[in-house]
Structure 1
């Protein structure tokens, strides 16, 4: 069962009920009526409130339009039940939902307090293709922690993100829906006793990408401040799966699937607007056969002005974002558990390399060379993995680092740094708690096995919303972890500090460039008294490798082999359970670059080593160049006799330094090329 639907069912039907009291509220559009729900206290629920007009007919592939007011009619909007989710395909390929789907839900704690409550707006996950706001019940989080929770739907798939590369469909309609929701909250939330000056947006996966896109979009920098804090759970605009750089290609494909070909783009889009939404979702599935993420965030020239890693180098944008928001960002330790079918047969270096080639093939033209580079950085030549299980762990780690950890830490480095960064308060976390069997049986968590023994992608969501307190069979540890997560998230929403004195086990330190400290939930952090611990330098060398050496954005950037070195090491990634340990140890792998790429910094000790090595390499290269020039001078006569002589560049070891000249011109493809369709995760 889909994790989101499972949470919805569990939270709605596990031991809660409704009082007879109806509650009326005013909104800018008119009066609404909600209901009071009994939990441990009372929570007011307002479900299915419209925040934008139905995006149908001529409004399909248009920015959201205002919903017509009903205030003059004297009618009262029935906000006692959720409305339809947006059109999407379920796991069987059946299409569900309705285009009339732009509705929100508000959960308000019912207490005698007179002060305004902080507001938390949840942006649902689902790869920008599926899910719904109503699948996430905010009742427990609102009641237990004294905050207002807002959930909502936004347009998905091709209906939400089709971009033809011109004025006929500019894409990002789902993101514009989200912005309209943020504006609705600013206009109305005070009527629900919410504080418009304490608004936190939080999301998981695609919702996390969305939240951070809003933070860097120039369209949220002008005028009133729509939100004040950001929580990103397993997603970043720097994630390769969250951003599409060739949307025109996939727009052409779905137009072809719909039979609207041999027309001008204007006529083609008019043809597409006559299609039933269900049919468009089915055509979208045909496109997804060749690409898992064809319809996601793209450059539209307005909300997203360039690929994200270029956007964040804009001087004016960086200036505007100085200290503007506060951030809480993190990942789970087994994010890439979905790679299990590819990893289960990995038993040795050959299997590891094969796995890398399979996963990298659709993203790099010279994927075999890239896989070799990854192997050099992840396999300790002195003490390589010695068992099949260790090779499997290494495979999971490499996939997780590339797909989730590096992009998320990269963003955290950016927002927390001075100089070229946003100079903002930031916190980072690692969620490592393995859900109990009760959550697995309920379809909420990924089944554990002999390899996967931690938190997989989106496992943390159930703990954010307090599901262990409603689920029969959930363990005491599940509830302890959930208490800590709910406490930290809401403390952050209330005052920007997740470690408010008196209700946190340990102090969560701010993230900064030098210490790179983070808070771990679960895993080896658990003792009889605590479920969290502070760690530092989370996979630091591997993160630098991915973010600075294999930049995942920008057509043709590729691999800069002229500016990096590798120090062989004893790798500490044989088990995900080790990733919270400091990575700065004797002989640790240091992969760094000279250039403008964004990555984690090195410690002073690492920097000294790197400078020494670069100096040594430069001296060797200068000597080699001098010898080559002398050979050219003395051998010019031979050259004229025998034709042009070329020297083959083989990589050679100099002590522990490996020159990577054999990896010249590794060029990105997939999301960043025009070579054709790709497949993703």
Structure 2
């Protein structure tokens, strides 16, 4: 194929009315992609797409529950269709992230979206890691054409193993756990080694992701093997210490054995147990993996990241509430990248709707009000889960702090309390802790925080009337592509002109960040997004307007980061402990 000039590419983009093939010669072989017209708010531009590229050998048969292995070279690969999503519970998928029904164990693929304005320069690269509580989701939902064309960046989206396929843990050296994180890391490495062939800049790679994808960006930033592979992260509505995004190693080992029992596999020897589970039908594993009790699943599903001594050497809740404990190994990447964080006022809708509200309603009675259930059961579970304490006095205080004294929903005001509790425990406070930890390390890298308070036209109506829903920011960040209409319950007719303009502003911030590590450069936004620091705590407040703020939710932040630690007599410095953790229970630090 003749190599086209920049002018020819530009002319071609204007003339495209259908799909035109193209080929890129890479280190893994010749990849055959295609051009396709994209339409963002009436602005038609062509984008170059490469879909379903395998980055790993299919993790099936004897490779099930093992670390991913790089895909072999191929002569030519036809990258014109998305690969299947990774195996997951279709019922949960239909409730939360409806995508294509095409699912498979053979799912470790990535997709590349490239602008065609010019091949004369190298584009920054943004690798998207999808969310879904490490249980559901697929890359095909997140088509990157509008972000690519508006922001002049390359966007890569990836699949990674989910649920027990991605996060089962044993003591066998081949299956220690966190296989989904290893998948992501191999995909990141693939992009770093090959993106230059697509016009990308391997020295300017940004990871960004939402919910479990946001948590994954932080886990990737904790893994020393990623040093030099990316330079920035954007964590939306999720970090490594989000309540739903971690568990202890002992609990993960226990869940794995419970699942093996359900599959009628032996549990006395891990190698025999794995051999058995590698030979059962994959769908049986999906069907038999819900092994947690009601209380165990109140904050998180069964199979999530946990310390394994290799990918995760430190327990996230400990080191991000006490960042002086971050060791040199964990900090080798974390300290040397710019990090941005996004929090939504309604993030807690994810947990409230799926577990917390049903739990409270189930346990209400004539003698036990919803507020009683929250104070006597829900809050003690939170305190036990995070601080390894059960204090009736502190539970009463927390119940008071989170009570809806405006009584906005009358007798149902407890729902507002649950939403704010869930938002803070599962999302907001972990994000603040991680932002503080990064800013406190003072290694010369910038930290940024964005708070989204906007109620959007596509926010689904719920009985407790949240300001917005978990994941509402994603369509803005991607420019409302067609692929998101069904999963996010949107239609072209209910997206307002103001929301399109907000999308443009947010895409400018994040692509600026991908270019320079500063969301205000090279294209100056209307409102400057100031760096977050531990003194001023600046953040960008996105509501009906965008403005600079400081000290987001100051009372709630102080309650979790100052009052509770002081109430429990938890030390806040490391000057005396010599690296020992506060005496509040098992730390699960390995190595």
Q: Same fold (TM over 0.5)?
A: yes
What corresponds to 1:173 in structure 2?
A: 179
Residue in 1 that maps onto 2:579: none
CA distance in 2, matches of 1:288, 1:32: 47
Shift of 1:322: 7.4
Aligned to 2:287: 282
Aligned to 2:551: 537
Q: Does 1:408 align with 2:431?
A: yes
1:330 is paired with a residue whose SS is: strand
Structure 1 stretch displaced more, 49-58 or 476-485? 476-485
> 1:503: Cα distance to partner?
4.5
For the Cα contact (< 8 Å) 1:24–1:33, is it kept in 2? yes
Aligned to 1:305: 313
Q: Which runs of 5+ in 2 are unaligned?
A: 1-15, 39-43, 95-100, 483-490, 576-581
1:541-580 → structure 2 map (5 Å cutoff): 541-547=555-561, 561=567, 563=569
Aligned partners of 2:102 and 2:563: how far apart in 1?
42
Corresponding residue number in structure 2 for 1:359: 378
What is the CA–CA distance in structure 2 between the aligned matches of 1:595 and 1:92, rounded to whole Å?
A: 40
Task: After TM superposition, list the pairs within 5 Å mapping 1:343-354 onto structure 2.
Answer: 351-354=370-373
For residue 187 of structure 1, what is the aligned residue in structure 2? 193
Deviation of 1:396 (Å): 2.5
Query: Does 2:243 correspond to 1:235?
Result: no
* Counterpart position of 2:59: 55
Indicate which of 438, 455, 462 corresponds to 2:475.
Answer: 462
- The partner residue of 1:254 within 259, 263, 279 is 259
Between the two proteins, the alignment pairs up a number of residues equal to 523
Deviations 1:513-548 (A, max 9, x none): 1111111112xxx2xxxx301111112332233245
Listed one character per residue, the Cα deviations across residues 334-381 of structure 1 (whole Å, up to 9, x for unaligned) are 1112426468999xx96445334443354426264442131354469x
Query: How far did 1:395 drift?
Result: 3.9
Does the CA contact (< 8 Å) of 1:412 and 1:426 recur in 2?
Answer: yes
Deviation, structure 1 residue 32? 1.2
What pairs with 1:54-93 in structure 2 (closer than 5 Å)? 54-71=58-75, 76-91=76-91
| 1:272/1:68 CA distance change after superposition, 3 Å | same
Alignment of 1:149-160 (within 5 A): 149-160=155-166
The residue number in structure 2 matching 1:676 is none
**Residues 597 and 396 from structure 1, CA distance in 2 versus in 1: closer, same or farther, beyond 3 angstroms?**
farther
Q: Distance in 1 between matches of 2:92 and 2:424?
A: 31
CA contact (8 A) 2:260 2:267 kept: no
Give the corresponding residue for 1:397.
Answer: 420
**Pairing 1:320–2:328 present:** no
Q: Give yes or no for the alignment of 1:293 onto 2:301.
A: yes
Q: Deviations over 1:282-326 (max 9, x none)?
A: 111344766342111111101101212445523424763575100
Find out whether 1:373 has 2:397 as its counterpart: yes
* 1:434 maps to 2:455: yes
Task: Give SS of 2:259's match.
Answer: helix
Task: Give the Cα–Cα distance (whole angstroms) in 2 for the partners of residues 187 and 294 of structure 1.
Answer: 34
**Corresponding position of 1:30:** 29
Q: Aligned to 2:170, what secondary structure does the other structure show?
A: strand
Instruction: Flag the 1:370–1:53 CA change in 2: closer, same or farther, 3 A.
Output: farther
Unaligned runs of 5+ in 1: 1-16, 440-444, 551-558, 564-592, 599-664, 673-681
Q: Whole-Å Cα distance in 2 between the matches of residues 93 and 492 of structure 1? A: 32
Q: CA deviation at 1:265?
A: 1.8
Deviation at 1:487, TM superposition (A): 1.2
CA distance in 1 between counterparts of 2:456 and 2:92 reads 26
Structure 2 contact 257–267 (Cα < 8 Å) conserved: no
Q: Distance in 2 between matches of 1:387 and 1:85?
A: 41
2:493 to 461, 472, 478: 472
Q: Distance in 2 between matches of 1:226 and 1:181?
A: 11
Partner of residue 19, structure 2: 20
- Alignment match, 1:632: none
Query: Equivalent residues in 2 for 1:64-143 (5 A)?
Result: 64-71=68-75, 76-91=76-91, 97-112=103-118, 114-143=120-149
Contact kept in structure 2, 1:89 and 1:96, CA below 8 Å:
no
The alpha-carbon distance between structure 1 residues 448 and 136, as it changes in their structure 2 partners (threshold 3 A), is same
TM-score, L = length of structure 2: 0.81
**Deviation for aligned residue 1:244:** 1.1
On the 8 A contact 2:188/2:229 being kept in 1, the answer is yes
Deviation digits for residues 49-92 of structure 1, max 9, x if unmatched? 01010011121111111212123xxxx21101111111111126
Considering only CA atoms, is the larger Rg found in Structure 1 or Structure 2?
A: 1
Instruction: Report what 2:270 is aligned to.
Output: 265
- Contact 2:266 2:276 survives alignment (8 Å): no
How far, CA to CA, are the matches of 1:288 and 1:471 in structure 2? 41
Change (3 A) 1:263 1:413: closer
